Amino acid sequence: MYLMETNIILYGVGGHAKVVLDCIESQNKYKVAKILDDNKNITKFKGRNVYHPEIDEIFTLPIIISIGNNEVRKKISLKHPFKSPIIIHKEAFVSASATIGAGSVIMPKAVVNADSKIGKHCIINTSAVVEHDCEIENYVHISPNATISGNVKIDEGTWIGAGAVAKNNISIGKWATIGAGAVVVKDVPDYAVVVGNPARIIKYNSLDFI
């Protein structure tokens, strides 16, 4: 039986957008009808035309923000009110009891296990694992091969680096950065940047727009 594809817009071009585009095309559910970017010097992406949105533009099609930077994704979502679908690559696993927020993308080989909750405009990147009963707030990016053990809470905007591990039953604050390969064994405060095994705080992020 043939299923009609739904037209959507891809907002943002770059390396991350290439993977998002692959995820979309793997589903045979959505068709990218238009590609947008704020940089007016970019006119082509993957052989397609790139358009540049006006500040007060009203969007009638659903949009996926295909930008890896959490801060930028939040700014765009607040600037332009629009609907966003959920994109799950055909080779990802998402438990039937998990919930995924609008605009989030689950990359190939990623796992979201039982009763976990993923917020809006999140990225669960290639081969990342979110174990059971986790709570991942909006605009979080969990990078490739990172492992979030069971019952972990991650607040808004935090970036989990590639290959990082968070032990079970801890909390990671908002807009924190967990360095690549870090092993997080205790709670992390808001805005903290942590690295190493075991992870230690080396500085704090400053995000004025929040």
Please, is 28 exposed, middle or buried when counting C-beta atoms within 10 Å of its C-beta (0-12, 13-18, 19+)?
exposed
Nearest to 173 by CA among 195, 157, 149: 157
Nearest to 146 by CA among 117, 109, 176: 109
141 catalytic per annotation: no
CA–CA distance, 133 with 2 (Å, rounded to integer) = 36
Catalytic residue, from 52, 80, 89, 132: name it.
Answer: 132
Helices (H), the chain: 15-27, 70-79
Please answer whether residues 86 and 103 qualify as being in contact, where contact means their C-beta atoms are separated by less than 8 angstroms.
yes
Active-site annotation, residues: 132
